[in-house]
Amino acid sequence: MKTISNWSNAIAHVDCDAFYASCEAVRHPELKGRPICVLSSQNAIVVAKSYDAKALGIGTGMPVWEARKLAPQAVFLPADFRYYGQMSDKVFAILRSYSPDIEIYSIDEAFMDMNGIRLLWHKSFRQLADDIRLSIWRETGITASVGIANTRTLAKMASESNKPDGTTVLPGKRIEHFLNGLAVADIPGIGRNRTALLHKFGVRTALEFVRLGDGLMQRLLGRHGMQLKHELSGHPVLPLLLKPVLPKSLARTASMGCVTGDRDIMMAHLSGHVMRLVSELVARQLLTRRLRLFLTRATFEHDSIFLPLEVPSNSLKRLMAAIKSGFYSLFRAGVQYRACGVVAFDISCATTATSDLFGLMASDTRQTRLMLTVNAVNRKYGNHTLSLAAAGRVKQKSKQPRFHYPLLVVR
Ligand SMILES: [Mg+2]
């Protein structure tokens, strides 16, 4: 691997730590010292947890009764995306005050173009990263981790490598050393299946991944693998998306990690997908008018159904209700399934939604005081009440793998 110059390009990745749980800790200071778990719809599954809850063995996707058994002292709160969206806006406003060029990547993480920013502030990248973390903490009460590197993939890996509340600055000359300390599974976009494939070819560390010959990389992982190889070598090929583009669709899908015919388990997976979809819609201030639900059978046949929504929405309650009714009409008892997913279509911008839709959209929310300002009205489309939303409760299945969903990577 050819050493590249230290800062031919500079990108920061800022990622809030245990975001949903941290937001809850901020508005519930009385819970200080208690592990916090944030729950999905119908309060069935843990979708986020504080670091101390994690240390007690609570995982994302764990049924709440199991988590309660592990940590009776923990508090369990329903997710509130409207509030997380507001906290997220505050964090992104702070980032924009450091560099005007940011790409919002998910509700709690963003990339920043840092080229030239040292000159503007007369500070080193390490000082800037520390300043950013401190500003976020002062203004919101939550901690974030920051990675700065030559490419977005390295910046993301850098922030991830030092959580929570850490700064990691990765100049060109330190890339090899950094990659040598990480596994291939630590590379964003390398999931379980790709890791297994790479292991078969003796590739275990991220450095071995970068050193894989182009021919073999192309054969194993195709264009995506080559892109990652360049990014990890310090050569940027994935530019920041600084202007918000309206995506044609947003998909959340995954293999369930097993073949199952259990209706409740499948509904729980779908709930997870809808939760992540809604969190991205809220973070990017987008609405969807039409969903597609699909189920993949053990035989790899697909069953799917389009689900039009009454109004453009990013309400968890509305989306979950549509998916639930679609699922019950699509699901066949006795059939074994291996994957499921949700795709949002007809995506529009929440901030330009016409006000005559407001009356209908308002039924998505309970809190009318948010009508006070235009911004508040727009935020309102992201207001969710989870207690009424529909999802299956996951029954204990000792051999079932834990549900584990990767970070939001679909653009
Ligand atoms: Mg985060």
**Residue 344 sits in a domain of what CATH number?**
3.30.1490.100
Ligand 1 centroid to 329 CA: how many Å?
A: 35
Neighbours of 394 (CB within 10 A): 25
pLDDT at 409: 25
Q: Are residues 268 and 364 in the same domain?
A: yes
pLDDT on residue 3: 64
pLDDT of residue 372: 25
273 and 372 co-located in one domain? yes
Same domain, 255 and 225: no
Closest-CA residue to 81 (of 105, 58, 107, 45): 107
Reading the block at residue 211, the tokens are 């050193």
- Please tell me the predicted confidence (pLDDT) of residue 407: 26
Residues with pLDDT less than 70, the chain: 1-3, 41, 352-411
CATH number at residue 210: 3.30.70.270
Expressed in angstroms and rounded, the spacing between residue 137 Cα and the centre of ligand 1 is: 14
Within this chain, do residues 271 and 355 fall inside the same structural domain, yes or no?
A: yes
pTM above 0.75?
A: no
Q: Does any domain span residue 25?
A: yes
Q: Can the peptide bond before residue 244 be classed as cis, meaning omega within 30 degrees of 0?
A: no
278 in the same domain as 187:
no
List the beta bridge partners of residue 169: 148
* CA of residue 120 relative to chain centroid, distance: 31
- For the chain, the straight-line distance linking the first and the last C-alpha, in angstroms and rounded, comes to 30
Q: What contacts 235, CB < 8 A, 6 or more positions away?
A: 4, 150, 151
pLDDT value, residue 353: 59
CA of 248 relative to ligand 1 center, distance in Å:
25
For 293, the domain range is 250-380
Q: Do 267 and 324 have their domain in common?
A: yes
**HSE, side-chain direction, 13 A CA sphere, residue 69:** 6
pLDDT of residue 352: 65
CA of 160 to the centre of ligand 1 (A): 9
Question: Quick check: is 400 in a domain?
Answer: no
CATH of the domain at 58: 3.40.1170.60
The answer to whether residue 398 is domain-embedded is no
Same domain as 256, residue 116: no
> How far away, in angstroms, is 105 Cα from ligand 1 center?
11
Strand order through the sheet with 144-149: 102-106, 109-113, 11-16, 144-149, 167-169
Q: What is the mean pLDDT of the chain?
A: 85
Note whether residue 405 is domain-resident. no
* Pair 10, 108: CB distance under 8 Å: no
DSSP secondary structure letter of residue 335: -
Catalytic residue among 109, 160, 231, 280: 109
Query: How many domains are there within the chain?
Result: 3
What pLDDT, in 10s, does the model give residues 252-290?
Answer: 988 888 899 999 889 988 988 998 899 888 888 899 999
The pLDDT of residue 274 is 92
Q: Is residue 239 part of a domain?
A: no
Q: Cα–Cα–Cα angle for 235, 240, 246, nearest 5°? A: 145
- One domain for residues 275 and 362: yes
* Domain co-membership, 177 together with 262: no
pLDDT for the residue numbered 163: 95
376 phi/psi in degrees, rounded to 5: -65, -35
Distance between CA atoms of residues 51 and 37, nearest Å: 10
Cβ-Cβ contacts under 8 Å for 272 (sequence gap 6 or more): 40, 45, 47, 61, 403, 405
Give the strand pairing for 144-149 and 11-16: antiparallel
Does residue 264 share a domain with residue 288? yes
Question: Is 280 an active-site residue?
Answer: no
255 and 313 in a common domain: yes
